[in-house]
Amino acid sequence: MNDQTMPFVGASLRGRQNRGWWVISCICPVLFLLFFFALTAFSDPQHDDFCFSYQYAEQGFIGATDAFYGGLGGRIVPYLLIELPAAIAQATGLDLLTAYALTMAAGFVAFVMGSALAIVRAWPALRGVPLIFVIVTFCAAVIGTSTSVRDLLYWLPGAACYVPAAVVTVVIVGECFRALDTGGRFSGLATFNMAVGGFISATCNEFTAVWLVALLAGSVLARRVLDQDLQIGHHVTIAVVVLIGWIVVIKAPGNTVRMSQFHSSGNLFHSLLEAFRFALVGLGQFLGEPTVIGWLITIAAVTLAVPESQRPAHSRMTGLAPALAIFSLGCCYFEYFAHEFSTGIRLVERAQNQALILLLFTSGLAVSLLVRAYRQNICQLLPDRALLSFTSSALPLVLGGLALACLAVSNTSRVLYSEAKSLYPYWRETVARHKLLLTSPNQIVVVPEHKWKPSILLSADVMVNTECIAKYFGKSAIEVPAPRS
């Protein structure tokens, strides 16, 4: 080995060493995600699931979805997703409990992969293990901050209406942001993908289409401010497809049936005020969550570590940060208002998960923009600029420790600490109940309530929708004995 090769060997060793530190920093959020992924094995069908399952068993995808479209509402994609476990069970011979767990595991993977795609598109300068760290930190932050991890990961009717829509939305946000940040254009393939994704997310609920149309309008406006190619045709194409999906939802005959059940809906002034109050409370909780703070610090630090671009940023690019804040807060408020106005009740926890994913993602983008704009001022406050570098061992270790501390005291972790001992007994009870319903020769089956009721897994016990449960298992009735005093 001669003197000329020594610098290259040294650089290679330092690179491997730095990758090693970043791998260590990933351990905590990865283990956090793996635990909640493993917990999908304990997820089980509950009340509403059986209504969809027996309808599928009797009528198939088309017949069951058409029945719900006419009697429940226009959320076509969630209906199809909720019918999946029954379809898997029928096609493979698996029992519904196993098929349900497999479906939720696949949903967990889809959530992580969709989030990864959004981050890759929004932060193209990130590469390698630091990129993986940001991805797993974001996913862990969503789970740690969620007010209902059950509705996010373990109960299909709670997840199907909001999580896919949220993930598609942040992917489109990332694509629009990337184009604005790099001065690029939407390709034909990207336009097609966003249109298809937008249609799917628009058919998940009644408000996501409004989010996406607002996003596309904001993208055109931002391009005009930044003197970029407007690509009006691409934006309009996506918006039209999204609106077609929205029309499919709002024109469903089942909406009338569903809305007739909410007698306190339709009060405009009351809904505006109550939505504002409840959204303000939710925003305060969001900003105070350790996982949110940790995520924003991580994004700020990683943004500083990325080498400064040689291409000068547009002087108006910084204005995109408050625009992102206004967009995301406006979307979240609209969701709160739409739910309050249409039902007369506050936004349910499962729908709050969609607002959470959007707000967490866009807040990261806004912080990244602000850090880039004031990079020089921030660097002057640092005692050693080299510490905030991808070649530093301190940065990944500090961020890894921050992730550990924030996740340990997160909202979901606090719930988990109090319910951890009940998870396995609950699953044993669930398996025993399912076996009883499958094997009992009686037409009227007595099914006791759960003794263990972890809120992470249980939405509502067996006494809800007993008719649907009985129909799926081919019984005439399910009886639930009164709890012992």
The torsion angles phi and psi of 24, rounded to 5 degrees, stand at -60, -40
Q: Are 257 and 71 in contact, with CB atoms under 8 Å apart?
A: yes
Euclidean distance between CA atoms 73 and 71, whole angstroms: 6
Q: What is the pLDDT of residues 353-407, one digit of tens each?
A: 999 999 999 999 999 999 998 888 887 777 766 667 777 888 999 999 999 999 9
Nearest to 142 by CA among 125, 123, 159, 122: 159
Nearest to 416 by CA among 16, 38, 20, 18: 38
What is residue 390's three-state secondary structure? coil
Euclidean distance between CA atoms 163 and 14, whole angstroms: 40
The span from the first CA to the last CA of the chain, in angstroms, equals: 83
pLDDT at 167: 98
For the chain, list residues with pLDDT below 50: 1-15
pLDDT at 15: 47
The one-character DSSP state at 253 is: T
pLDDT at 311: 60
pLDDT at 14: 46
pLDDT at 310: 55
What is residue 51's three-state secondary structure? helix
Q: In Å, how far are 28, 219, 336 from 181, measured between CA atoms?
A: 31, 11, 30
pLDDT at 8: 33
Euclidean distance between CA atoms 466 and 452, whole angstroms: 19
Enumerate the domain spans of the chain: 6-30+100-415, 423-479
Whole-structure pTM value: 0.93
